[in-house]
C-alpha cells in the first residue's frame, strides 16, 4: 500500500483575484463549486502534469486572511521559471525574488507573493534530469 499527496487547499479573501493570479502562472480552473451559501471552492491544475491547488473563499470569515505561521510557501514547478515570473510581474503581481540559479542544486527559483500574501516559489529543474517530477534532492 502506498500514500501520496495530491492537493492542498488554502483560504483566500477574493476567489476571482486569486484565480487570476494562478492562471497567470499557467494553471486552469478545472472545478468551481459553491459548497453552501458562504463557501465557494475552486480547483486549479495543469491537467497534463497532475497535482491540484484548491482555493476556498468563505464570506463568513473576516478578511484579510489570517495566514498565521502555518503555510511557509507553495511550490510551483515549471519548465520555464523566468517566463512565468515575467508573466506574473507584467500582470501586476508582487515579487520578492527574481529568478536566480541555485549554487547547491541544479534549479532556477523565483519568489512571488499571491494576492493573500502566500509565498509562491517557482521551481525549474535545470539539471541533466530536467523535467522530472521531484523536489530538491
CA 93/CA 120 separation, integer angstroms: 11
CA-wise closest residue to 111 among 102, 103, 100? 100
Report field, pTM of the whole predicted structure over 0.75: yes
CB of 122 closer than 8 Å to CB of 78: yes
Determine the 3-state secondary structure of 68 from DSSP: coil
Spatial distance between the Cα atoms of 38 and 103, rounded to a whole number of angstroms: 46
pLDDT in tens, 27-47: 999 999 999 999 999 999 998
- Superfamily for domain range 7-60+71-125: 2,3-Dihydroxybiphenyl 1,2-Dioxygenase, domain 1 (3.10.180.10)
Query: Hunting for cell 479573501 — which residue is that?
Result: 13
Model confidence pLDDT, tens digit, residues 105-122: 999 999 999 999 999 999
Instruction: Kindly report, residue by residue over 67-96, the tens digit of the pLDDT.
Output: 888 889 999 999 999 999 999 999 999 999
Average pLDDT, the chain: 90
From CA 83, how far away is CA 33, in angstroms rounded?
A: 31
Q: Where are the domains of the chain?
A: 7-60+71-125
Going by C-beta distance under 8 Å and a sequence separation of 6 or more, which residues neighbour residue 119? Answer: 72, 73, 74, 96, 111, 112, 113
Residue 132 has pLDDT above 60, yes or no: no
Amino acid at each position: 500500500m502506498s500514500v501520496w499527496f495530491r492537493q492542498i487547499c488554502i483560504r483566500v479573501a477574493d476567489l476571482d483575484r486569486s484565480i487570476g493570479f494562478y492562471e497567470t502562472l499557467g494553471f486552469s480552473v478545472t472545478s468551481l463549486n459553491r459548497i453552501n451559501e458562504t463557501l465557494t471552492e475552486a480547483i486549479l491544475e495543469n491537467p497534463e502534469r497532475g497535482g491540484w491547488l484548491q482555493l476556498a473563499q468563505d464570506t463568513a470569515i473576516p478578511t484579510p486572511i489570517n495566514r498565521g505561521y502555518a503555510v511557509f510557501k507553495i511550490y510551483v514547478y515549471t519548465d520555464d521559471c523566468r517566463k512565468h515570473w515575467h508573466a506574473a510581474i507584467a500582470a501586476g503581481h508582487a515579487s520578492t525574488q527574481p529568478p536566480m540559479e541555485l549554487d547547491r542544486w541544479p534549479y532556477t527559483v523565483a519568489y512571488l507573493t499571491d494576492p493573500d500574501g502566500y509565498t509562491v516559489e517557482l521551481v525549474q529543474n535545470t539539471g541533466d534530469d530536467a523535467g522530472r517530477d521531484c523536489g530538491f534532492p
